[in-house]
């Protein structure tokens, strides 16, 4: 893999027997890592958004299980496999929507079940590292597949942060954008600021600026206007490109709140809608997006902005963190196993049974 500017963005590092997470709550103003030595703190860090983004949450959980195994095995080598179940369920409760979390926990659970070694933490670390490396490799592949769908130079619009920070590295939606920019097919990236956590303004813009990819921020309410009015300019928005937290068997897509609105706008204006996600984001156990659990976070995140109260005292607020875009509004789902155009159950089944 060639050296890319984004290779220096590392949200998750395992070093000297410890897990380090880049604290995404304070980016881009501060770049600071937090070290983790116990699984309870890892689960809390996922809930608190120190680390976020579906693939990054899954990788973090895998490393968290290494930490848990080390402690449980040291305490009781004869019953650690039973004791670690408590840690696995703690991690599973940290955030409900991104299926990559549950995918990683199940992978580690299956490995633990069959394990008969003197150093289980070491054996689990090998698996966690593989999960991490595979995610980066999948993103690079998706970058190529997604860029191939973009046929002419244009502007694109993205939402939230589906970049190196949200994954093991390189990014899903931003991986496609990186690749297409290198091929001179993306000239400008519009990034929704993404209230209330401002992942677009703080994280996506930070990633793009570091690579000199032109990025222009939008408040979410500006997206429809920009999609419409850009069509008659030199930089028309031709694609909306997003990541996903969970894709149902019928191709319905859960992603950051506001994604569904973008898909409706795209359809109305004849703009194409691309979802970029590894197969670890696909949940074939649920038939439609109606069954995807949608995380509802604290109202305080909406009533305040960066900790400063903004709402009228006494106002209520709702804070759903994700929404579901019906498959009928999706033009392409890009995975490391290939691209599904106009997704539906049969095409998703064919993708998931496709052996590498
Ligand atoms: O609440 P977040 O920041 O974890 O939400 C992240 C998103 O919705 C991303 O778009 C999604 O996880 C895809 S990341 C490659």
- Here the CATH number for the domain that contains residue 287 is 3.40.50.10470
pLDDT at 1: 41
How far is the centre of ligand 1, averaged over its atoms, from the C-alpha of 165 (Å)? 10
Mutate which of 9, 11, 54 for ligand 1 pocket (most atoms within 8 A of beta carbon): 54
Residues 231 and 328 in one domain: yes
The C-alpha atoms of residue 347 and residue 270 are separated, in whole angstroms, by 23
How far is the centre of ligand 1, averaged over its atoms, from the C-alpha of 254 (Å)? 10
| CATH code at position 127 | 1.20.120.420
How far is the centre of ligand 1, averaged over its atoms, from the C-alpha of 202 (Å)? 14
Coil, strand, or helix at residue 305?
strand
Show which of 136, 156, 186 is a domain's final residue: 136
Q: What residue numbers bound the domain in which 205 lies?
A: 142-352
Minimum-distance ligand 1 atom for the alpha carbon of 243: 13
Residues 96 and 152 in one domain: no
- Is the pTM higher than 0.85? yes
Minimum-distance ligand 1 atom for the alpha carbon of 167: 15
Minimum-distance ligand 1 atom for the alpha carbon of 255: 8
The closest of 304, 221, 321, 307 to 262, measured between CA atoms, is 221
How far is the centre of ligand 1, averaged over its atoms, from the C-alpha of 247 (Å)? 13
Minimum-distance ligand 1 atom for the alpha carbon of 54: 12
Residues 164 and 116 in one domain: no
CB 58 within 8 A of CB 98: yes
Residues 96 and 170 in one domain: no
pLDDT at 6: 77
The closest of 334, 341, 345, 329 to 287, measured between CA atoms, is 345
The C-alpha atoms of residue 130 and residue 327 are separated, in whole angstroms, by 31
Mutate which of 6, 171, 255 for ligand 1 pocket (most atoms within 8 A of beta carbon): 255
Residues 215 and 76 in one domain: no
Minimum-distance ligand 1 atom for the alpha carbon of 52: 4
Show which of 113, 136, 159 is a domain's final residue: 136
Burial profile 268-305: b = 16 or more Cβ within 10 angstroms, e = fewer: eeebbbbbbbbbbbbbbebeebeebebbebeeeebbee
The single-letter DSSP state of residue 182 is H
Per-residue pLDDT of the chain (356 residues; tens, 9 = 90+): 444 667 889 999 999 999 999 999 999 999 999 999 999 999 999 999 999 999 999 999 999 999 999 999 999 999 999 999 999 999 999 999 999 999 999 999 999 998 988 999 999 999 999 999 999 999 999 999 999 999 999 999 999 999 999 999 999 999 999 999 999 999 999 999 999 999 999 999 999 999 999 999 999 999 999 999 999 999 999 999 999 999 999 999 999 999 999 999 999 999 999 999 999 999 999 999 999 999 999 999 999 998 899 999 999 999 999 999 999 999 999 999 999 999 999 999 999 997 56
The C-alpha atoms of residue 111 and residue 27 are separated, in whole angstroms, by 35
pLDDT at 117: 83
pLDDT at 355: 59
The closest of 217, 275, 216 to 251, measured between CA atoms, is 275
Catalytic: 245?
yes
- In this structure, the residue with its CA closest to atom 5 of ligand 1 is 53
Count of other CB atoms within 10 angstroms of residue 110:
11
Residues 289 and 310 in one domain: yes
Mutate which of 25, 102, 162 for ligand 1 pocket (most atoms within 8 A of beta carbon): 162
Q: How many residues does the chain have?
A: 356
Residues 79 and 150 in one domain: no
Residues 84 and 193 in one domain: no
Residues 120 and 152 in one domain: no
Residues 117 and 156 in one domain: no
User: Ligand 1 pocket: which residues have CB below 6 Å?
Assistant: 52-55, 98, 160, 162, 166-167, 172, 199, 243-245, 255-256, 321
- Of the residues 23, 87, 192, 245, only one is catalytic, namely 245
Show which of 111, 136, 161 is a domain's final residue: 136
How far is the centre of ligand 1, averaged over its atoms, from the C-alpha of 231 (Å)? 28
How far is the centre of ligand 1, averaged over its atoms, from the C-alpha of 274 (Å)? 15
The closest of 39, 34, 42, 44 to 67, measured between CA atoms, is 39
Q: How far is CA 228 from CA 96, 246, 257, in A?
A: 35, 29, 21
Task: Please count the structural domains in the chain.
Answer: 2
Residues 216 and 336 in one domain: yes
Residues 178 and 209 in one domain: yes
The C-alpha atoms of residue 215 and residue 201 are separated, in whole angstroms, by 10
């Amino acid at each position: 893999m060639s050296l890319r500017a984004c290779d220096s963005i590392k949200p998750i590092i395992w070093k000297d027997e410890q897990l380090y997470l880049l604290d995404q709550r304070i980016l881009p103003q501060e770049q600071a890592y937090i070290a983790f030595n116990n699984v309870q703190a890892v689960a809390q860090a996922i809930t608190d958004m120190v680390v976020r983004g579906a693939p990054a949450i899954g990788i973090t959980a895998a490393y968290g299980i290494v930490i848990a195994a080390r402690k449980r095995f040291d305490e009781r080598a004869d019953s650690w496999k039973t004791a670690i179940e408590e840690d696995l369920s703690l991690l599973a409760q940290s955030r409900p929507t991104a299926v990559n979390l549950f995918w990683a926990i199940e992978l580690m659970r299956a490995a633990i079940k069959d394990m008969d070694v003197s150093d289980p933490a070491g054996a689990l670390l090998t698996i966690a590292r593989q999960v991490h490396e595979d995610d980066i490799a999948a993103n690079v592949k998706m970058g190529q597949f997604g860029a191939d769908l973009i046929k002419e130079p244009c502007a694109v619009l993205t939402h939230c942060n589906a970049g190196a920070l949200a994954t093991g590295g390189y990014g899903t939606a931003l991986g496609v954008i990186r690749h297409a920019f290198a091929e001179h097919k993306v000239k400008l990236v519009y990034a929704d600021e993404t209230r209330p956590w401002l992942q677009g303004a703080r994280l996506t813009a930070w990633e793009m600026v570091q690579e000199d990819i032109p990025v222009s921020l939008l408040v979410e309410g500006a997206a429809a206007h920009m999609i419409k009015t850009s069509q008659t300019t030199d930089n028309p928005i031709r694609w909306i490109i997003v990541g996903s937290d969970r894709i149902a068997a019928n191709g319905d897509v859960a992603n950051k709140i506001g994604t569904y609105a973008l898909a409706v706008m795209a359809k109305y204006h004849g703009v194409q809608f691309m979802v970029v996600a590894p197969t670890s984001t696909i949940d074939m156990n649920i038939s439609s997006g109606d069954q995807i659990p949608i995380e509802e976070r604290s109202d305080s995140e909406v009533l305040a902005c960066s900790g400063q109260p903004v709402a009228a005292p006494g106002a209520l607020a709702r804070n759903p963190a994700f929404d579901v875009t019906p498959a009928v509004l999706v033009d392409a789902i890009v995975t490391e196993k290939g691209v599904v155009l106009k997704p539906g159950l049969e095409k998703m089944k064919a993708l998931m049974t496709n052996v590498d």
